Amino acid sequence: MKTIQKEKISLSNEFIEQIKESIKPHWGPLGWVTYKRTYARYLPEKQRTENWDETVKRTVEGNINLDPRLQYDPSPKIKDELTQEAQKLFRLIYGLGATPSGRNLWISGTKYQQEHGDALNNCWFIAIRPQAYGDSHIVPEYLTQDQPAASMPFSFMFDQLMKGGGVGFSVTQENINQLPTVDNTVNLTILISHNSKAYAETVKMGAQDKERWLADHVPDNYDLYELPDTREGWVLANATMIDHHFSSTNITGSTDLVLDVSHIRARGEAIHGFGGTASGPAPLVEMLFDINQILNEQAGKKLSSVECTDIGNLIGKAVVAGNVRRSAELALGSADDHAFINMKQDRAKLYHHRWASNNSVAVDSNFNNYDEVANSLRKNGEPGIVNLDLSKNYGRIVDGKQTGIDPNVEGTNPCGEISLANGEPCNLFEVFPGIATQQGWNLQEVFTLGTRFAKRVTFSHYDWEISRTIIAQNRRIGISMSGIQDWILNEFGHRVVRGFGEGNDPVTGKKVKRPIYDQKAAHKVTQLYQAVIQADKEYSQTLNCVPSLKHTTVKPSGTVAKLAGASEGMHFHYAGYLIQRIRFQDNDPLLLSLSAAGYHMEPDVYTKNTMCVEFPMRAPHADDPEFASAGTVSIAEQFATQAFLQEYWSDNAVSCTITFQPEEGPEISDLLNQYRFITKSTSLLPYSGADFKQAPKKPISKATFKHKQAEIKHDVQTVFARQSQGQDQEEFEIVGQEDCEGGACPVK
């Protein structure tokens, strides 16, 4: 069929004004501030950041127009149906009964989305082994599309991190053993012109003066690559350096490589596509020298899982330096790889770069010796556990074994809620069932809307061939519930785990405590799961594509949950009453409004040019006898709650960071072993309370909460609106902020 000019679905201003008059967003205590800090894009034509209705309009229109039927000659009926669906989505998201992922809130509906559909997806997975670049947007000019290269998985990782996604990567022995021997040591020289604004700081990182160096060296004796001022240029520079170490991809045979970074924009200059400000070339230069050193030290040998993880971490470290981007990474190693399991015990390397990934080990259901893993977990909260056997052969556990239902799974995203094949992304939509119910929504309709939203994302333009192929094959989506603890208490009056009975391990016969679940809750989440399955089936038939391989999940949430003021994913609230601290660049205009409203703030003790703002918080149901927090709920109940959701709701996986008290440490190994046939991924972390200065969360008493709350005299949203209109500017002066310097956009 011939493609014609694509039709566009848009929401009218009249409709949006009507919704704004009739619906009030369910902002949590941190909701509006978190939104403005994180997701409101700057509008140059209006000289301000977006308002919430503008963000939702952009997000919904960006998504609804991914429906592939609009690429051809859609009938008036199709356009009318999609317009009505867009209106429902706007009402739902504007009211905060549900939201798409943070990636969509930031990128959907922008020019960047149209150019790089990858940016709509939260996270990705790649296996560290030689792979071909294929027909991708990034292919080193010295390679053919079908030539395997050791650089390819690192290029994929670097590219996706630079586009704002997180990346899980596998360094299991099965993958690492496929890497070739490092053949060459490479003499790396990095040049920068003295005309560059970034000259001084880049030279400090080891770069050479371009003009002087070129005058002193003969061109025939080295390979030269001039980096363009693009994301692709950074990726290709790293790929070129890595591939020079291997004879199969070192086409010229030269071991003298020169990289010219003179064209890269200086620190603080605008990034026009993704948004935010540039880091300058210095972090890239540091990264290239560090990775080159790792490879040089392994000349004549193969890279190990630890060294490959180090390379991934150094890439993540460089991406973080760009300020606007995060660097969520998960390294997945083998369960018997002792060096990998213990690699974070090297404190110097931990603080230098190994902090950049969470580390987990891949197991199957036959693995039952968790003592070494448990001992490491008790020390520093790592490694986590990823059961690839369950992911390949099970959807929801209650539906029984379905051999090969997800045969290509090799790993997971950084938070562990989606099991993924090589090159595949997670694709998330989040429903707050308690809030949606309060707002009068039928939950089956809410989950249907979320399913269709996520399905359309799979029709984005993807930059990498490996991703295009696996996405079209799987159409994997992840419809998540969040605020689960709040909803369960609202809906059923108690927590989902009603107690424990006696049972036996099916293999060893060892006595275990079996959780007893509220069966009404099990029935309810099963109904909602079936609504997602039915919605996907019907929409897939409409679009003439395969049904999604898997559909549901529980994501950790975090930032998005703060918008609606819900508990995060399946997690229990950190405390009934607490101080939540959020960090802002010290030139963020929100600080003026927060100060005027009465919030306490002080300079961050860890990071320069950063302010730490305190928000007093009360959890819903904080005074309910059934309320439990992360500081009071037992490790056994947390394991059981995660298992409940894996059993009845999620056919992907359930992200959960189980917190434990010191005295519960001895239980970890037995609990990991008990739930090895149910839970697909698990991580644990000691409960810290407020053990360090300016902790992100600090439990407080109810009396302290009331005192702190009384200090807040004004609504920050109202203050910000007055500020933006130039009213009463003298009221909004922050003491001690006279020396504000250039800042950066926050993590998205």
Angle between helices 13-22 and 76-94 (to 10 degrees): 30
Q: Is 295 exposed, middle or buried (0-12, 13-18, 19+ CB in 10 A)?
A: buried
Catalytic position from the list 415, 426, 656, 745: 415
Is 415 designated active site?
yes
How far apart (Å, rounded) are the C-alpha atoms in residues 79 and 100? 22
Phi/psi for 312 (5° steps) reads -60, -40
How far apart (Å, rounded) are the C-alpha atoms in residues 653 and 675? 13
Is 417 designated active site?
yes
- CA–centroid distance for 227 within its chain: 28
**49 to 44, 286, 637: CA distances (angstroms):** 8, 34, 43
Instruction: Give the three-state DSSP class for 682.
Output: strand
Decide if 744 contacts 323 (C-beta within 8 A).
Answer: yes
**660 to 325, 398, 559, 640: CA distances (angstroms):** 31, 27, 23, 14
Residue 112, token pair as written in the block = 């960047």
Q: Is the peptide bond before 662 cis (omega within 30 degrees of 0)?
A: no
In order, the DSSP letters of 371-397 are HHHHHHHHHHS--EEEEHHHHHH-SSG
How far apart (Å, rounded) are the C-alpha atoms in residues 401 and 392? 10
How far apart (Å, rounded) are the C-alpha atoms in residues 633 and 627? 9
Catalytic position from the list 201, 410, 417, 430: 417
Residue carrying structure tokens 């790396």:
188
**Among candidates 162, 189, 195, 321, which has minimal Cα distance to 244?**
189
Instruction: Give the three-state DSSP class for 602.
Output: strand
Decide if 310 contacts 353 (C-beta within 8 A).
Answer: yes
How far apart (Å, rounded) are the C-alpha atoms in residues 359 and 355? 10
Active site residues: 415, 417
